[in-house]
C-alpha cells in the first residue's frame, strides 16, 4: 500500500511498522466474514431469526450448526492475528532507538475541501501501540470466552460479527492520525456498543438500553465535534501532530474552550458525571460485551482522548483541574451506588464508572502515564471480573434452565451464595481480581491506583496545577480534596467488591435445592481466558513499578509513554516528586484502607441474606443507593417526560399534524374535487358527450363571430 505522502525520515521507515494498516483491517475482515455467515442462510430463504425466543433458538441453532465452527475460528482467529501483529510492531518499536516523533502514514485522501485536507492516516506511537496491545490482547481473550458463553445462542455469528466490528472501530479510534479519523472510530465503537447492548433486542428493555447509550453519547459527541471545529478554525488542520504544534500560538481561551468541549466528549464515552447514566443500562448486553466494551476498552476511549490531546489540556490547567474534580466526584458517587446493588453486573458497572473516575483524576492532574497505567491494569482485572460474572450467570442460567425455573433472576446476588463449591476456578480468579481492584499488593490494581493517588498528592504539594485556580478555589486545596475523595473511594471499592464476592461465593447456597443440582463450572474455553487474565492481574503491576518498590525495572510504562505525554505532564505537574518517607506513608495508608474495607465487608456481609423472592423492601439510604440516587427517575420526570410531551403536543399535534392537514389533506381534497368533476364529465353517456361537442362548437363559432 503506497503512502501518499512520506514525512521526513523516521526510524520506523520500512520496518514492520509499515504493516500497521492491517491492524484494524483484520477484525474488519472477521466482521465481514461473520456478517456474511449471518446473511447467507437468510438470503437462501430460511425463516428470519426472531420468531419467538425458543423457536428462534431451535431454528437458528439447527440452521447455523454447519457454519458455527467457522465463526468460532474466524471470530477469535482474526483477533489472535491482530494481537500477533500488534506484538510484532511493539517489539519492533522497542528495538528502535530515538523513537520521539510519531510514525504517521496516510493512505488515501478523505476530505480535500479548500483549506481542509483530511486523510485516512494512522499514527503509530508509544500510546497507540500500547492501546492496540490491550485492545487486541484482552479482546482476543474475551472472544475466546465468548465462544463458550454464547455457544447455545441463536445469534452466534451475528454476535461475533458485531464484536469484530467493535474491535476494528476501536483500533481506528486509537490508531487514527487525526481527530476526524479518531471520530470515525469513536462513532464506530458507539455503533458496535449500541448493536451489542441491544443484542437480544426481542426484549424491549434491551433495545431501549441500546438507544439510551446512543442518545446520551450523542451529547458527548456534540462536544467532540465543537472541539474539532474550534481546533480547525484556530490551527487550520486536524492532524494530531500539526494541530498540536500549531496550537502553541493560540490564546488561553481557545485552549480552555477546546479542552472543555473535548472533555464533554470524554464524559459521554467514558460515563462520567453527568453523562454516566447509560453505562448501568448497557449491562443489558451479553456479559463478555460488558467485559470488552463497557469495562476494558471503549469506555476508556475518553481517557485515551485526554492523553492523546494532552497538549490541549496542558494549555488549560483549570480545565485539567475540572477534569480531575469530575473524575473524583464520579468515582465516589458511583462507588456509593455500587454498595447497595443486588445485580452482579450492576455492581461491576458502577465499579467501572468509579474506576474510570480514577483514570480521569490521573489524566486531569497531568499524570497521563498513571492514568494509562490504570487503564491497562483495569482492563485486566475488570475484564476478569466481568468474565467471572459471566461464568456465574452462565452457571446460574443453566441451573434454572435445568430446574425449569425461568422466572428466577440469574444475575441477582441474593439468589447465589456458596458458589465457590460449584465454580472453584471462577471463584479463585475473581478473588484475585477483587483483591487487585481493592488495591492489595502486589496485584496490578495496587500499583496503578497507588500511583494515581501518589501523583495527586505530589501535585497538591506544589506544581503549576496547584498554583492554578478553578472558579477561585486554589488548585492545591482541590487536589488535596481529590486525594481524600480517592482514599474514601478506595475504601468503598474494597467494601463493595468484597461484598459481591461474599454474597456470591461464600455461605450457604440460595439458588434452591432443585436448581443448585444444575450448577457447574464453566467449560475450559471460558476458564482459560479467565486464568490468563488472572495472571495478567497478578503481574500487571510490573509494567510500571514505583522506585519505592524496586521489584524489577521501575517506571517502564512512564518512560515508554514519555515521548507522547511527558511534555504535557511536566507542564501541568512540574517536577513534583515525593520523598520516600511521604510516599511510604501514602502507600501504607492505601494498603491499610484496602484491608479495612475488606474487613468491614467481612464483618457486615457474612450474615445470610434473604433470597430475592423473600427480600424485604429496603428503606432509607439503602433504598436510595439501591435506586442509584433515583437519578433515572428524576431525569425521566424532568427531562424525558417533558420532552415526550413537547414532542407529542407541540411537534406532532401542533406542527406535524397541522402541516398534514394543510398540505397533505388539502392536496388530497383538491385532487378529489378535480377527480369528481372529471368523473361527471366522462360518465360514458354519449348524450352528454354530444352536449359537450355542441357547446364547444357554439363556443368556437361565438369566438370567431365576436372576434
Q: Write out the residues near other proteins by the rule CB under 8 A.
A: 682-687, 690-691, 694
534: its cell numbers = 488472572
Of 666 and 682, nearer to other proteins (C-beta) is 682
Half-sphere exposure of 471 (CA within 13 A, CB side): 5
Displacement of CA 465 from its chain's centroid (Å): 29
E strand spans, 94-143: 103-113, 116-124
Asked whether the beta carbons of 367 and 125 are under 8 A apart, the reply is: no
Displacement of CA 68 from its chain's centroid (Å): 28
13: its cell numbers = 521507515
Among 567, 308, 312, 571, which Cα is nearest to 465's? 571
Of 613 and 685, nearer to other proteins (C-beta) is 685
Of 669 and 692, nearer to other proteins (C-beta) is 692
Of 592 and 694, nearer to other proteins (C-beta) is 694
Asked whether the beta carbons of 231 and 247 are under 8 A apart, the reply is: yes
Of 65 and 697, nearer to other proteins (C-beta) is 697
- As a whole number of Å, the CA-based R_g of the chain is 30
Beta carbon of residue 682, minimum distance to other proteins (angstroms, whole number): 8
Cα–Cα distance measured from residue 263 to residue 363, given in angstroms and rounded to the nearest whole number: 11
Among 124, 192, 131, which Cα is nearest to 160's? 192
Cα–Cα distance measured from residue 659 to residue 54, given in angstroms and rounded to the nearest whole number: 45
Among 535, 534, 557, which Cα is nearest to 544's? 557
Cα–Cα distance measured from residue 211 to residue 217, given in angstroms and rounded to the nearest whole number: 10
Beta carbon of residue 677, minimum distance to other proteins (angstroms, whole number): 16
Of 55 and 692, nearer to other proteins (C-beta) is 692
Beta carbon of residue 671, minimum distance to other proteins (angstroms, whole number): 18
Of 69 and 704, nearer to other proteins (C-beta) is 704
Beta carbon of residue 669, minimum distance to other proteins (angstroms, whole number): 22
Beta carbon of residue 696, minimum distance to other proteins (angstroms, whole number): 13
Of 666 and 675, nearer to other proteins (C-beta) is 675
Of 581 and 684, nearer to other proteins (C-beta) is 684
Contact residues for 526 (Cβ-Cβ < 8 A; gap 6+): 145, 148, 149, 387, 390, 391, 394
Beta carbon of residue 704, minimum distance to other proteins (angstroms, whole number): 16
Residue 470, H or E segment: strand 469-470
Contact residues for 8 (Cβ-Cβ < 8 A; gap 6+): none
Residue tagged 471460558 (cell numbers)? 526
Beta carbon of residue 678, minimum distance to other proteins (angstroms, whole number): 12
Of 669 and 693, nearer to other proteins (C-beta) is 693
Beta carbon of residue 706, minimum distance to other proteins (angstroms, whole number): 19
Beta carbon of residue 674, minimum distance to other proteins (angstroms, whole number): 17
Among 648, 369, 607, 655, which Cα is nearest to 503's? 607
435: its cell numbers = 483483591
Beta carbon of residue 685, minimum distance to other proteins (angstroms, whole number): 6
Amino acid at each position: 500500500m503506497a503512502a501518499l505522502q512520506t514525512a521526513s525520515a523516521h526510524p520506523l521507515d520500512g520496518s514492520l511498522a509499515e504493516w500497521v494498516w492491517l491492524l484494524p483491517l483484520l477484525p474488519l475482515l472477521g466482521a465481514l466474514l461473520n456478517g456474511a455467515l449471518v446473511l447467507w442462510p437468510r438470503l437462501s430463504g430460511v425463516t428470519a431469526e426472531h420468531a419467538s425466543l425458543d423457536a428462534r433458538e431451535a431454528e437458528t441453532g439447527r440452521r447455523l450448526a454447519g457454519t458455527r465452527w467457522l465463526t468460532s475460528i474466524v471470530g477469535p482467529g482474526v483477533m489472535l492475528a491482530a494481537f500477533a501483529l500488534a506484538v510484532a510492531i511493539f517489539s519492533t518499536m522497542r528495538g528502535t532507538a530515538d523513537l520521539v516523533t510519531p510514525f504517521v502514514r496516510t493512505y488515501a485522501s478523505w476530505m480535500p475541501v479548500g483549506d481542509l485536507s483530511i486523510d485516512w492516516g494512522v499514527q503509530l506511537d508509544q500510546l497507540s501501540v500500547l492501546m492496540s496491545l490491550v485492545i487486541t490482547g484482552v479482546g482476543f481473550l474475551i472472544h475466546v470466552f465468548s465462544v463458550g458463553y454464547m455457544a447455545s445462542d441463536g445469534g452466534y455469528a451475528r454476535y461475533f460479527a458485531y464484536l469484530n466490528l467493535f474491535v476494528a472501530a476501536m483500533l481506528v479510534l486509537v490508531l487514527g492520525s487525526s481527530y476526524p479519523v479518531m471520530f470515525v472510530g469513536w462513532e464506530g465503537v458507539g455503533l458496535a456498543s449500541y448493536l451489542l447492548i441491544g443484542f437480544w433486542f426481542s426484549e424491549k428493555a434491551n433495545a431501549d438500553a441500546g438507544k439510551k447509550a446512543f442518545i446520551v453519547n450523542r451529547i458527548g459527541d456534540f462536544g467532540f465535534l465543537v472541539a474539532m471545529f474550534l481546533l480547525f478554525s484556530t490551527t487550520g488542520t486536524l492532524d494530531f501532530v500539526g494541530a498540536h504544534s500549531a496550537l502553541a500560538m493560540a490564546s488561553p481561551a481557545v485552549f480552555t474552550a477546546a479542552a472543555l468541549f473535548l472533555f464533554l466528549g470524554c464524559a459521554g464515552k467514558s460515563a462520567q458525571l453527568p453523562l454516566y447514566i447509560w453505562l448501568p443500562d448497557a449491562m443489558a448486553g451479553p456479559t463478555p460485551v460488558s467485559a470488552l466494551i463497557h469495562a476494558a476498552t471503549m469506555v476508556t476511549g475518553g481517557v485515551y482522548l485526554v492523553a492523546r490531546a494532552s497538549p490541549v489540556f496542558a494549555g488549560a490547567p483549570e480545565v485539567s483541574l475540572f477534569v480531575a474534580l469530575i473524575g473524583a466526584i464520579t468515582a465516589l458517587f458511583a462507588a456509593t451506588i455500587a454498595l447497595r446493588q443486588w445485580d452482579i453486573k450492576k455492581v461491576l458497572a458502577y465499579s467501572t464508572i468509579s474506576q474510570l473516575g480514577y483514570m480521569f483524576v490521573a489524566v486531569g492532574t497531568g499524570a497521563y502515564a498513571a492514568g494509562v497505567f490504570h487503564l491497562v491494569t483495569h482492563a485486566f482485572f475488570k475484564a476478569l471480573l466481568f468474565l467471572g460474572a459471566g461464568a456465574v450467570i452462565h452457571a446460574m442460567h443453566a441451573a434454572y434452565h435445568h430446574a425449569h425455573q425461568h422466572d428466577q433472576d440469574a444475575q441477582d446476588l441474593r439468589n447465589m451464595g456458596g458458589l465457590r463449591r460449584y465454580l472453584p476456578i471462577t471463584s479463585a480468579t475473581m478473588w484475585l481480581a477483587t483483591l487487585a481492584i481493592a488495591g492489595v499488593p502486589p496485584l496490578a490494581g495496587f500499583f496503578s491506583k497507588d500511583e494515581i493517588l501518589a501523583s495527586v498528592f505530589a501535585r497538591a504539594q506544589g506544581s503549576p496545577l496547584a498554583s492554578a485556580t478553578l472558579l477561585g478555589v486554589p488548585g492545591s486545596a482541590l487536589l488535596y480534596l481529590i486525594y481524600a475523595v480517592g482514599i474514601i473511594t478506595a475504601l468503598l471499592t474494597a467494601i463493595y467488591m468484597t461484598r459481591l464476592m461474599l454474597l456470591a461465593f461464600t455461605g450457604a447456597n440460595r439458588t434452591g435445592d432443585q436448581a443448585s443440582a444444575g450448577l457447574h463450572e464453566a467449560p475450559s474455553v471460558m476458564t482459560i481466558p479467565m486464568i490468563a487474565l488472572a495472571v495478567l492481574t497478578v503481574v500487571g503491576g510490573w509494567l510500571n513499578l514505583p522506585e519505592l518498590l524496586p521489584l524489577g525495572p521501575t517506571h517502564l510504562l512512564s518512560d515508554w509513554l514519555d515521548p507522547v505525554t511527558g511534555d504535557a505532564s511536566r507542564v501541568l505537574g512540574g517536577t513534583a516528586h515525593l520523598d520516600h518517607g511521604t510516599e511510604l506513608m501514602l502507600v501504607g495508608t492505601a494498603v491499610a484502607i484496602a484491608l479495612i474495607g475488606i474487613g468491614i465487608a467481612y464483618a457486615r456481609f457474612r450474615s445470610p441474606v434473604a433470597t430475592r423472592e423473600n427480600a424485604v423492601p429496603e428503606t432509607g439510604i439503602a433504598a436510595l443507593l439501591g435506586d442509584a440516587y433515583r437519578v433515572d427517575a428524576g431525569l425521566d420526570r424532568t427531562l424525558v417526560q417533558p420532552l415526550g410531551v413537547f414532542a407529542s403536543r407541540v411537534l406532532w399535534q401542533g406542527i406535524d399534524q397541522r402541516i398534514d392537514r394543510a398540505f397533505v389533506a388539502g392536496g388530497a381534497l383538491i385532487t378529489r374535487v378535480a377527480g369528481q368533476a372529471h368523473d361527471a364529465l366522462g360518465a360514458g353517456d354519449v348524450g352528454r358527450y354530444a352536449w359537450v361537442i355542441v357547446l364547444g362548437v357554439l363556443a368556437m363559432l361565438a369566438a370567431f363571430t365576436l372576434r
